[in-house]
Amino acid sequence: MITFDDKIKKNFGFGCMRLPTCDGEIDYTKFSQMIDTFMEAGFNYFDTAHGYHGGKSEIALRECLTKRYDREEYVLVNKLSNFCFESEADIRPFFENQLKWCGVDYFDIYLMHAQDKNNFKKYKECRAYETAFNLKKEGKVKHVGLSFHDTADVLDEILTTYPEIEIVQLQFNYIDYDDASVQGKLNYEVCVKHNKPVIVMEPVRGGSLVNIPPAAQMIFDGLKGGSNASYAIRYAAGFPNIVMTLSGMGNIDMLLDNVGYMKNFKPLNEAEQEAVKEVCKIIKAQNLISCTDCKYCVGGCPQNIPIPTFFACLNSQKSYGGWGSKMYYEIHASGGVKASDCIGCGVCEKICPQHLEIRDLLKEVAAEFEK
Ligand code: SF4
Ligand code: SF4
């Protein structure tokens, strides 16, 4: 495992997007208790963004963390989100407000938030990366990075365009590792190629890897060890280029479970790795489209429809419900090509080795995500 910044005490961080609430407001008493427990256990990394809790996550961090601890004791990460600026001139005033909302005079890491091909175009045009690099020169940001949701070729383009980027935050978990839409493995490999350490977001896939099918549960129960979340988080944290794994913790029980096994982190052993593989197979067996992502169909499509990627989104939707799949569909369709653009020529079906009825399946995709 590599080290990114000596100030980061451990490889597990507090994602502040699902904080404890009471009557719709963040519960400062509970949040403060969680922070104290987290810090006492030797952890010190906190991740936020302006959109979390509609801007209230930043304020809660000021009230519960930054007013109560010395600046050197914690690592605070914030992000520049797409909806927070329309031009280069908007970025600095917004950033200064973020410092005020959080009650600090610098961020340890500042991420260009949720980069994909379209967002990257806007960030480039508005010189967002250049602005962040200048903030670093001024000491208002210690490190500049990005968080990412798109295909590996787009990540490669961003890291090639801006080699000054120091760190990348990826959606990475045992289900998305070889998912054609999320591309966890491929994106991780791009980071390795560019020598960028990785922060993991959604290691438990928005909580969906906690509630797994009964047959999968029996496999984890057979290990007589940790919680379902523990296997998901330790799986992600065990990759050598991963310096930080985040969990969006909403209550003290979740936090106690997480700090219990991450305090003295051990990667999954061989038996646990095997169990995760089996669980993964069971979860994936719920998928209804047996597309193998061979991509044979893609090149010949006159409409340039990313067929396997759209199928991965529908499979994800069927397996896990609403979480994330629609967002990924919209990202992949945002280049202007939707499932409903299929003209029914049938070229793809002639080449598909799985003999899938691609035209009908694309209608299902469109019905699910374009309604
Ligand atoms: S049937 Fe639709 S998806 Fe298949 S090649 Fe033709 S346009 Fe593309
Ligand atoms: S050819 Fe068939 S199996 Fe291969 S990616 Fe296309 S739909 Fe999937």
What share of the chain has pLDDT > 90, as a percent? 78
User: Mean pLDDT of all residues in the chain?
Assistant: 93
Pocket test for ligand 2, best of 287, 292, 347 (most atoms within 8 A of CB): 292
- The yes-or-no verdict on residue 335 having pLDDT over 90 is no
DSSP one-letter string for 147-196: EE-S-HHHHHHHHHH-TT--EEEEE--TTTTT-TTT-HHHHHHHHHHTT-
Angle at 86 between CA 17 and CA 147, to 5 degrees: 40
Distance 219 CA to ligand 1 centre (A): 40
Could you tell me the distance, in angstroms and rounded to a whole number, from the CA of residue 264 to the centre of ligand 2? 43
Judged by average pLDDT, the poorest of 7-16, 218-227, 281-290 is 281-290
300 in a domain, yes or no?
no
325-333 vs 307-320: helix axis angle to the nearest 10?
160
340 ligand 1 Cβ < 6 A: no
- Integer-rounded Cα Rg, in Å, for the chain is 21
User: What's residue 289's pLDDT?
Assistant: 78
Please determine, for residue 206, whether its predicted confidence score (pLDDT) is greater than 90.
no
In a domain, 1, yes or no: no
In the predicted structure, residue 167 carries a pLDDT above the cut 70: yes
Question: Is residue 290 in some structural domain?
Answer: no
Given pLDDT bands bounded at 50, 70 and 90, which one contains residue 318? confident
pLDDT range class, residue 1, cuts 50, 70, 90: low
**Which is nearest to 237 in space by CA: 246, 250, 228?**
246
Distance 203 CA to ligand 1 centre (A): 35
Q: Do residues 190 and 232 both lie within one domain?
A: yes
What phi and psi, each to the nearest 5 degrees, are found at residue 54?
A: 55, 40
Q: Give CA separation, 306 vs 158, 288, 301, 311, in Å.
A: 21, 18, 9, 9
Same-domain check for residues 252 and 334: no
Residue having the nearest C-alpha atom to atom 7 of ligand 1: 342
Please identify, by atom number, the ligand 2 atom nearest to the C-alpha of residue 361: 7
Cα 180 to ligand 1 centroid, rounded to whole Å: 19
Closest CA to 110 of 89, 139, 86, 141: 141
Residue nearest to atom 6 of ligand 1 (CA): 345
As a whole number of angstroms, the distance between CA 160 and CA 275 comes to 37
Query: CATH number of the domain that 217 lies in?
Result: 3.20.20.100
Residue pLDDT, tens place only, 128-155: 999 999 999 999 999 999 999 889 999 9
| Structural domain harbouring 140 | 12-278
| Total domains present in the chain | 2
- CA 337/CA 325 separation, integer angstroms: 17
Domain boundary among 262, 278, 294: 278
pLDDT, position 26: 97
For the cut 70, the answer to whether the pLDDT of residue 263 exceeds it is yes
For residue 119, give every residue at least 6 positions away whose Cβ sits within 8 Å of its Cβ, in sequence order, or none.
82
Has residue 292 got a pLDDT over 90?
no
**pTM value?**
0.82
Among 274, 268, 284, 278, smallest CA distance to 205 is for 284
